[in-house]
């Protein structure tokens, strides 16, 4: 085994973490089907869906399915400090308008830390700025599951859902955003538009 392989498999790079997958974020997709499966009779099917969603770098320890969310505990090999530095550099590129280069750098960050909320959140924002709303919404959802939070996250999710015509999702994100920022004009505008189109 090479030195780099030994470093990659080093126990100090192995982290135990928990994430929360929200039912409302996955209505109509493969993960959303998990909430329709009876847990007592579909354990293997649920774990298979979760493994596909979280990727090969994540080793699931246990998953608890409730009515509105799934709590997943897992092990993952990651380098969070290095990934955070790459995500910061990618953010600087994005702010300068170099979005294609920023996307590439965010991908590098996620390669060494596939559960980096910071990198995934920035990746999703950059995708949204490039008009790739479906991918952007998926990335922002994943970032939220990994611990990202805040008004900017919800604003991007709301705008992507609205542009994609996902009315119920847009309304939900707008309502969540208004709980954080009761005077948010964009959220009020989306709610008004969605109610008119109902």
| Boundaries of every domain in the chain | 3-77, 78-147, 150-198
- pLDDT, tens digit, for every residue of 119-156? 999 999 999 999 999 999 999 999 999 999 999 999 99
Relative orientation angle of helices 185-197 and 167-180, to the nearest 10 degrees:
150
- pLDDT, tens digit, for every residue of 62-117? 998 888 999 999 999 999 999 999 999 999 999 999 999 999 999 999 999 999 99
**Quick one: average pLDDT of 171-189?**
95
Helix and strand tally (H, E) in the chain? 9, 3
CATH 1.25.40.10 fits 78-147, yes or no: yes
pTM (2 d.p.): 0.86
């Amino acid at each position: 085994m090479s030195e780099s392989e030994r470093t990659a498999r080093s126990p100090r790079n192995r982290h135990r973490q928990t994430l929360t997958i929200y039912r409302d974020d996955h209505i109509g997709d493969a993960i959303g089907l998990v909430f329709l499966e009876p847990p007592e009779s579909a354990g293997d099917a649920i774990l298979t869906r979760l493994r596909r969603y979280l990727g090969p770098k994540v080793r699931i320890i246990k998953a608890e399915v409730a009515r509105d969310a799934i709590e997943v505990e897992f092990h993952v090999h990651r380098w969070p400090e290095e990934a955070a530095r790459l995500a910061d550099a990618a953010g600087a590129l994005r702010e300068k308008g170099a979005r294609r280069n920023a996307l590439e750098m965010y991908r590098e960050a996620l390669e060494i830390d596939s559960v980096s909320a910071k990198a995934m959140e920035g990746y999703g924002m950059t995708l949204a700025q490039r008009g790739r709303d479906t991918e952007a919404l998926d990335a922002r959802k994943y970032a939220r599951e990994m611990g990202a939070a805040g008004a900017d996250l919800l604003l991007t999710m709301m705008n992507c859902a609205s542009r994609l015509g996902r009315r119920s999702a847009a309304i939900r994100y707008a309502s969540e955003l208004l709980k954080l920022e009761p005077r948010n004009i964009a959220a009020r505008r989306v709610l008004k538009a969605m109610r008119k189109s109902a």
